[in-house]
Amino acid sequence: MENTNTKKLGKQTVKLNNPPKIVATYSIVGPKEGEGPLGKYFDEVLNDDLYGKESFEKAESEMIYTAITAAINRADLTEEEVDYLFAGDLLNQLTSSSFAARKLNIPFFGLYGACSTMSESLSVASMMMDGGFADYVVAATSSHFSSAERQFRFPLEYGAQRSPLAQWTVTGAGAMLLAKEGDFPEVTYITTGVVKDYGIKDPNNMGAAMAPAAVDTISRHFKDTGREPKFYDAIVTGDLGKVGKEIISKLLLEYGYDIRENYFDCGDMIYDDTVQNTDSGGSGCGCSAVVSCGYFYKKMIRKEIKNMLLVSTGALMSTTSSLQGESIPGIAHAVAIEFNNIEGR
């Protein structure tokens, strides 16, 4: 049957006819992220990554709760006015998000896309807005170095040696508040990822595992929209890190897209490996969340960039799937955010 939907551009991309506006964001990070090169762009930097709680998991949940409520406050709204919360995180059964939602009287949809969750939640939230189901929606996600290490790898107390290809899970949470009106950056196109698996089995090399998905989604976005890489001031992947970043720049060239001049990777930006010992860079849902909510959103509001393509990337394995010898499926979701109401442009 023929695709009769006018919003659809090709198989994976939709155009939003009523682009939702990102009227507020909030980013909260741990001490290490605050000491990194983007530290001054984050709204809140913790002195202690336990955040006054008795476990790292409870701290992470409190961080995403803070990000959500602060974004709502910044938009001069109350939680009663928010129609939906779309949120997810890395913890088993999404407990950071669910326990934060427990304190909020907001209809809640939990999402899981591993480290792609910022653009996944923003995608679904934006479509809900454009579809006319909501006036205000929050998209949020979080991760925490210490809760992720003990869940996915080893308790920190073991002092296990890190692989040089390993990435450092970002301690951070980010939230975006979407509204119908306002002179703010808006979500214009969404390219939803398909799962790609090229057989990488090393859970310490997630950048390589996620790269094929990023290449697929980004090239699909350009093909579906007819845009060229140079259209965007910033093409921003989530957490491919140094390894994955290099891979996708090369692979996209083979597809005829040269993104090298305006390509950024949140995982590559958030730490300074020369002094912070973060190996291949940052990772985790929180990585692209805080870099997009903190650094890039502010760049847009300050009119230093006018648009970006946010492509959060996720590695969809579990410890069980890795132990059972499975390779690592990857996914990437792309969201075009544009702020064209800039005088003089």
Binding site for a second copy (CB under 8 A): 1, 3-8, 11-12, 14, 54-55, 57-58, 77, 80-81, 83-84, 88, 90-95, 98-99, 101-102, 104-114, 120, 123-124, 127-128, 130-135, 151, 180, 192-197, 316-321, 324, 326, 329, 331
In whole angstroms, how close is the CB of 134 to a second copy at the nearest point? 7
Collapsed DSSP state (helix, strand, coil) of residue 178: strand
Rank residues 204 and 318 by Cβ distance to a second copy and give the closer one: 318
Name which of 6 and 161 has its Cβ closer to a second copy. Answer: 6
Q: In whole angstroms, how close is the CB of 23 to a second copy at the nearest point?
A: 11
B/e letters for 17-27, b = 16+ CB within 10 Å, e = fewer, are eebbbbbbbbb
Q: Are 197 and 327 in contact (CB under 8 A)?
A: yes
Min dist CB 41 to a second copy, Å, is 29
Choose between 38 and 75: whose C-beta lies nearer to a second copy.
75
* Min CB(148)–a second copy separation in Å: 11
List b or e across 39-48, with b for residues whose CB sees 16 or more CB atoms inside 10 angstroms: eebbbbbbee
Nearer to a second copy, 262 or 321 (CB): 321
d(CA 112, CA 87): 8
Q: Which is nearer to a second copy, 130 or 279 (CB)?
A: 130
Q: Which two tokens mark 70?
A: 């602060």
Distance spanning both ends of the chain, measured CA to CA: 42
CA distances (Å), origin 271, targets 167, 274, 282, 309: 11, 9, 7, 21
135 to 81, 180, 338, 343: CA distances (angstroms): 8, 6, 20, 27
Min dist. Cβ of residue 18 to a second copy (A): 10
Question: Which residue, 323 or 342, has its beta carbon nearer to a second copy?
Answer: 323
Residue type for 22, please?
I
| Alpha carbons 177 and 171: distance in angstroms, whole number | 21
Closer CB to a second copy, 104 or 247, in the complex: 104
Give the nearest distance from C-beta 47 to a second copy in angstroms.
23
Show Cβ contacts of residue 95 under 8 Å, excluding neighbours closer than 6 positions: 57, 61, 89
Closest to a second copy by CB, 95 or 276: 95
- Report the greatest alpha carbon distance in the chain: 58
Closest approach of Cβ 185 to a second copy, in Å? Answer: 20
Residue 247 to residue 290: CA distance in whole angstroms: 24
Q: How far is the CB of 329 from a second copy (least distance, A)?
A: 4
